[in-house]
A and B are shown apart, each in its own frame.
Chain A
Amino acid sequence: GDSVTQMEGPVTLSEEAFLTINCTYTATGYPSLFWYVQYPGEGLQLLLKATKADDKGSNKGFEATYRKETTSFHLEKGSVQVSDSAVYFCALRGNTPLVFGKGTRLSVIA
């Protein structure tokens, strides 16, 4: 079945560092891909998405490109802030509502 694998955390970075959180997927057909963010004490929020190969989703300085050849959707940000500290979930939607990765906790220190 469909599955998502993302790098395990926690990831600790200094403010203004470059962030990459790897995400790869297994799915039949052409799924849509998502990154969700869960800030402390809050529910999940959609961060960005891409619905077809080579699409780039972007929001709040974060970017991810749908790479079908490598079945990947890595999340990147050029300069992280303390306020980016959260848990990030990669997810896909194929024939099921949503399949999530295990989440990666990011801590950004000043």
Chain B
Amino acid sequence: GAVVSQHPSRVICKSGTSVKIECRSLDFQATTMFWYRQFPKQSLMLMATSNEGSKATYEQGVEKDKFLINHASLTLSTLTVTSAHPEDSSFYICSARAFVGNTGELFFGEGSRLTVL
């Protein structure tokens, strides 16, 4: 199947710094990518929908100034956690939709674990 890659897989940062997470579709073009956040023992929560060349659409309760999303090309979306705090520590997962025939299956990245000290 299609491959989605995230980088970095793990990152530790100090409180107040910003962290950028990249999500790349390696063998297909993705006009739409999705960013999820996974808390321990919790479900994946959709944070935002990233559309190539336009502003991201954020879910209710997600601070768009806190979680900056840029989808500058058909193969790359970035999530920047600005002025990170310990409560931002989480597992962030991106996904991209690859169209095979008439179906649009979602493929997920490996996830990025952020720890804010």
Q: Which A residues fall within an 8 A CB radius of B?
A: 4, 36, 41-46, 89, 96-103
The answer to whether B108 and A44 have CB atoms under 8 Å apart is yes
Residues of the A chain whose Cβ atoms lie less than 8 Å from the Cβ of B44: 44, 89, 98, 100
Given the known A-B contacts A98-B46, A100-B44, A102-B41, are A43 and B4 also in contact in the complex, defined by CB atoms under 8 Å? yes
The answer to whether B43 and A102 have CB atoms under 8 Å apart is yes
Residues of the A chain whose Cβ atoms lie less than 8 Å from the Cβ of B95: 44, 97-98
CA distance A96 to B95 in the complex (A): 14
Mark interface residues in B89-117 (1 if CB within 8 Å of A CB, else 0). 00001010000000001111111000000
Q: Can you name the residue of chain A whose Cβ is closest to the Cβ of B34? A: A97
Chain B interface size, under 10 / 10 to 19 / 20 to 34 / 35 or more? 10 to 19
Chain B contact residues: helix, strand, loop or mixed? strand
| B78 interface residue per 8 A CB criterion | no
Cross-chain pairs A/B with CB under 8 angstroms, 13 sampled? A41-B110, A42-B110, A43-B4, A43-B111, A46-B1, A96-B46, A97-B49, A98-B34, A98-B44, A98-B46, A98-B95, A99-B46, A100-B44
- The 4 tightest CB contacts between A and B, nearest first, are A44-B108, A43-B110, A43-B108, A102-B43
Contact of B106 among A41, A97, A102, A103 (CB under 8 A): A97
Q: How far is the CB of A102 from chain B (nearest CB, A)?
A: 4
The answer to whether A89 and B43 have CB atoms under 8 Å apart is yes
Residues of the A chain whose Cβ atoms lie less than 8 Å from the Cβ of B54: none
CA distance A42 to B47 in the complex (A): 20
Given the known A-B contacts A43-B4, A43-B93, are A98 and B106 also in contact in the complex, defined by CB atoms under 8 Å? yes
Residues of the B chain whose Cβ atoms lie less than 8 Å from the Cβ of A45: 108
CA distance A46 to B44 in the complex (A): 14
The answer to whether B106 and A43 have CB atoms under 8 Å apart is no
The answer to whether B108 and A100 have CB atoms under 8 Å apart is no
Given the known A-B contacts A97-B49, A100-B44, A102-B42, are A46 and B4 also in contact in the complex, defined by CB atoms under 8 Å? no
CA distance A13 to B34 in the complex (A): 34
